[in-house]
Amino acid sequence: MTSLADQLRQLLPPVSYDGSARILSAIIEAEAGSLSTSESNSTGVYRAMFPDTGEALSDWERVLGLPDPCLLGHPQTVAQRIQAVLSKLQSRGGQSRSFFIQLAKSLGYDVTITTFRPARAGIARAGDPIYGGDWNFTWRVNAPAVTVTHAIAGGTVAGEPLAAWGNRQLECRLNQLKPAESILLFGYGAQ
C-alpha cells in the first residue's frame, strides 16, 4: 500500500514536476501530514455528533443543561450521563401517562403510574378510600425498590463503580416535567 505522500506525487503532471525533488518532496510530505491529521480529526468529529458514543459528552451536557440541578453533587456513571443526554434529546414533552412511562424507560426505569379519584356516590363501595381535596391532583409513580445500573464493558471509564443504585435521576427528571398543578408521589417496591 502506498503512502498518502506517494499518492499525491502521482497526481503531479509527469513531465512538468519531479516529485522526488527536495523542496517539492518536502511540500508534498507536509501536505500529506496535514491531510492525515484532518482525516483522523474528522473521525472524532463524526463520532462526537452522536451522543451515544460518549465522545464530547461534556459538550452535550453543557448544551442541554445537564446534569439537572437536583443531581449536582450526586455522582453518575458515564452510562447514566449518556442516558440522560439521550433522554433529553428524545423527549418531546407531554402530560400523558404514556409520556411519563416512556420518559422513565428512556432513563432506564420500568414504572407504572397510579392516579387517584375522589369517591363518587353510586360508584364507591364501603371500604374504598375517599381521596378528597388535593388527591384530585395527585399521581404516583410506582418503581422497583432498587434500580441497579450495571457497568457495561466499553461503556465505562477507569474509577467508575461496577454498579450504581438509586432512583434519584428518575425523581429529579419527573419532578421537573410534571404538570405544575399536580402532586407527584413515588412508591418503591410494589408495582
Interval 115-155: pLDDT, tens? 988 878 788 788 777 887 788 899 999 998 877 777 777 76
What is the pLDDT, as a whole number, of residue 1?
46
User: Do residues 182 and 99 share a domain?
Assistant: yes
Are 138 and 154 members of one domain?
yes
Distance CA 136, CA 179 (A): 13
pLDDT at 167 over 90: no
Residue-level pLDDT at 98: 92
pTM for the model stands at 0.64
Question: Are 31 and 114 part of one and the same domain?
Answer: no
The answer on 34 and 69 residing in a single domain is no
pLDDT in tens, 5-42: 999 988 888 888 887 889 999 999 999 999 999 988 99
How far apart, in Å, are the Cα atoms of 38 and each of 30, 32, 44, 71, 105?
12, 10, 10, 38, 39
Overall number of domains in the chain: 2
Q: Which of 48, 63, 78 is the last residue of a domain?
A: 48
Q: Are residues 123 and 184 in the same domain?
A: yes
For 51-95, list the strands marked E by DSSP: none
Based on the fold, state whether residues 101 and 170 are members of the same structural domain. Answer: yes
Based on the fold, state whether residues 132 and 69 are members of the same structural domain: yes
83 in the same domain as 15: no
pLDDT value at residue 62: 93
Q: How confident is the model at residue 2 (pLDDT cuts 50, 70, 90)?
A: low
Residues 175 and 89 occupy one common structural domain = yes
Q: Are residues 39 and 92 in the same domain?
A: no
Q: Residue 88 burial (CB < 10 Å; 0-12/13-18/19+)?
A: buried
Q: 66 and 33, same structural domain? A: no
The residue segments making up the domain with residue 29 are 4-48
> Domain check: are 77 and 115 in the same one?
yes
The answer to whether residue 176 scores a pLDDT higher than 70 is yes
Mean residue pLDDT of the chain comes to 86
Sheet holding 138-143, edge to edge: 112-115, 138-143, 183-188
